[in-house]
Amino acid sequence: MSAILRVCQMMGIASKNPGFKFHLFSFLFTFSSLALFCSAASSITQGQSLRDGETLISDGEKFELGFFSPENSSSRYVGIWYYNISTSDPSVIWVANRERPIFYKTGILKIGSDGNVVVLDGNNTAVWSSNASASSHSTAILNDEGNLVLSSSGDTSKEYWQSFGDPTNTFLPGMKVEVNSAIGENRFLTSWKSENDPSPGAYSMGVDPRGSPQIVIWEGSNRRWRSGHWNKQLFIGVPNMPTTYSYGFKLSDENGNGSMYFTYTPWNVSDKLRFQIRWDGYEEQLRWVGDKNQWEVIQSQPNKSNDCELYNRCGKFGVCSASHGSGSECSCMHGFQPTDWDQWIRRNWSDGCSRKTLLQCHRNRTIGTEENDEEDGFVGLRCAKLPDFADLVVRGSDENCEEICLKNCSCTAYAFVQGIGCMIWTEDLLDVQKFTKGGNTLNIRLAHSDLGGKKKLSTLVIIVISVAGALFLVIFMLLLWRFKAKLKVLPTTSSISWLRNKDPPMLDASKSNEFSTDVSGSIDLFAEGNQVNGSELPLFNFACVAAATNNFSEENKLGKGGFGTVYKGNLPGLQEVAIKRLSRRSGQGLEEFKNEISLIAKLQHRNLVRLLGCCIQGEEKMLLYEYMPNKSLDFFLFDPSKQALLDWRRRFAIIEGIARGLLYLHRDSRLRIIHRDLKASNILLDADMIPKISDFGMARIFGGNQNEANTNRVVGT
């Protein structure tokens, strides 16, 4: 400004025109205001306004705020949408004045005199306000999460209001779907009235505050769909949730004051994704696919191909099972019959089912006697979507749960669910669905006469099994004692002589002076799991290993190869283990056995299978590994029904893990080792799908500078 004045004074302009300074100042102020909006600001402050046609863009250019009109409509709304997405779907994720649209392009968004965000029409009438207890000096900022935040101009951490706290129909990453069960408050998403009308529609979605939290879709005040209860990992009423939901949920408690909320976070922060409650009552999870320039529907609830997803399809005490197409079939729970047979035959199941026989305590209350009454019992309904309105959730066990239910005359059913505990129902059982797989067991309380003699039969079976089990245990202990007395517990000299050799076959140790297989100090240890110093392995008693595998039964067999058979076992202290039993007829297996003890005992890496011990007794030679519950990689790759479980994220993590294991073998370990038999069946997967390289029977040790070696036979993959 001063520089321009000096130039004008030199030209004699300023001195001849006293009003020049005022006009120049006005011009520069106007020009700077225009430049502010031309530079795509992300915020507005007191005294600034946003007119129809102008927008705010978040700093990372992810979201945009401005005025818009839905398709085939001239009404104007203030909304937030994804920035720079060219598609017929406007992808609007939030609307301010959804109940009071502006009918001409005369709207203004500004910070009002009270510090609130307000939307004004052409008559300067407020059609919407944030209605927060704001300061007169406040700022509204659109951030990269799609959240419009009203905060103090001097301290942006002091927030007065945010659009995430006043949602419309969309649930974004970072947003909280909140509920306070203590005071009954809930934060809902509300659908649009129609596809092109943002005004509040008939459907809403939120967290049900009663009992264990679950997601519910309401049509007005009536339930339309529910997710089932949250067990701290997933919603138990959504079949195949780990595969149908690409991005998981998390439930957080807030300071223990009864307030809790669901959030979700994308695995890839660059993904554009959202949940929304549609105008027609369906929840959808969508992900933006840039290559196709469209939103992809990942999952939708309720499932349009299954009428059983609709709330309480079969009425009280009814069970819904999906039939072919989008149909459904209803049946009554065991011990119940249709309330109205005529309507039931006409496939009108809304009246549900009624008990055939009153429960014992109800009967005693009516008749006033307990003579000759048998105790109520339970019948389990497996693979069930558990009923709505669990009245009591307590900690305990399945047995405690049954006892609690029997002591409560109003209890109609119970279920014990991992992550939740004991769930009790004291009202009619509503919205029960039968899954083809998954679900939980619902234990339905019935009068003794409706148990069909199952209780007496079960008692007899328990007695027979107990007596037979005791006899079997006595016989087994006698046989085990005789077996141990005959074979002793020490290995023969011939079976362990190779362990004293520092250069076992199959290993070219001459190339590496670091390598040593001296485990001579281990041969005197055959107690269960005793650990010697250094890298030597625990040696296990054969009888202990045989007992852990149920005497190497077929039920415990995990697989079979040229080396022998692998069994699943349970050892005290080690819990579940995989036991490789060397085939007596396999010379190649003997070499593999020597190699694996020599190599794996010295290797420690997250992506290598861990050797826990071995067993050498007589002609028996076995290796004990950590147990991998997800089997091997080929189990997923070559099974069409399992391939879908390996999405790209998991596949990449598995590839990365294998590469890390190989890098350790080839470069970072004390021994430079070439595996020579790397294939899908030799990649094991633990409970978290972390890959573990296994089967080192064909492996070779290389020297530090060695790049090639000779072999006496062609082996490996």
Give burial (CB, 10 Å; 0-12/13-18/19+) of 457.
exposed
Q: List pLDDT tens digits, range 321-372.
A: 987 655 789 999 999 999 999 999 999 999 999 999 999 886 655 544 444 4
Which band of pLDDT confidence, cut at 50, 70 and 90, is reported for residue 717?
A: low
Q: List pLDDT tens digits, range 31-86.
A: 444 444 444 689 999 889 999 999 999 999 999 999 999 988 999 999 999 998 86
Whose tokens are 């009108």? That residue is: 348
Residues with catalytic function: 677
Query: Fold for domain 481-626?
Result: Phosphorylase Kinase; domain 1 (3.30.200)
Asked whether the beta carbons of 441 and 457 are under 8 A apart, the reply is: no
Q: List pLDDT tens digits, range 514-565.
A: 333 333 333 332 333 333 334 467 888 888 889 889 899 988 898 887 677 8
Q: Give the pairing of strands 283-289 and 353-355.
A: unpaired
pTM: 0.59
Domain ranges of the chain: 2-36, 40-165, 170-302, 317-452, 481-626, 633-702
- Lowest-confidence segment of 88-92, 316-320, 439-443, 703-707 by average pLDDT: 703-707
Query: Fold for domain 633-702?
Result: Transferase(Phosphotransferase); domain 1 (1.10.510)
Please list, in sequence order, all residues whose beta carbon lies within 8 angstroms of the beta carbon of residue 308, skipping any fewer than 6 positions away.
Answer: 320, 321, 322, 328, 433, 434
How high is the pLDDT of residue 561? 72
Q: Give the pairing of strands 575-582 and 620-626.
A: antiparallel
Helix (H, G, I), strand (E, B) or coil at 545: helix
- Lowest-confidence segment of 25-29, 418-422, 498-502, 674-678 by average pLDDT: 498-502
Domain 170-302: CATH architecture, name and number where available? Orthogonal Prism (2.90)
The annotation status of 580 as a binding-site residue, yes or no, is yes
Q: What is the DSSP string of 304-329?
A: TT-GGGSTTTT-TTEEEEE-STT-EE
pLDDT at position 715 over 80: no
The DSSP element (H or E) to which 450 belongs, if any, is none
How high is the pLDDT of residue 169? 96
DSSP state of 666: I
Question: N- to C-terminal Cα distance for the chain?
Answer: 78
Q: How far apart are CA 564 and CA 582, in angstroms?
A: 5
How high is the pLDDT of residue 592? 65
Q: List pLDDT tens digits, range 117-155.
A: 999 999 999 999 999 877 778 999 999 999 999 998 878
State the chain's mean pLDDT as an integer. 80
Using the CB atoms, write b or e for 184-206: b if 16+ within 10 Å: eebbbbbbbeeeebbbbbebbbb
Query: pLDDT > 70: what percent of the chain?
Result: 75
- Lowest-confidence segment of 179-193, 401-415, 550-564, 695-709 by average pLDDT: 695-709
Query: Fold for domain 40-165?
Result: Agglutinin, subunit A (2.90.10)
The answer to whether 481-626 and 633-702 have equal CATH topology is no
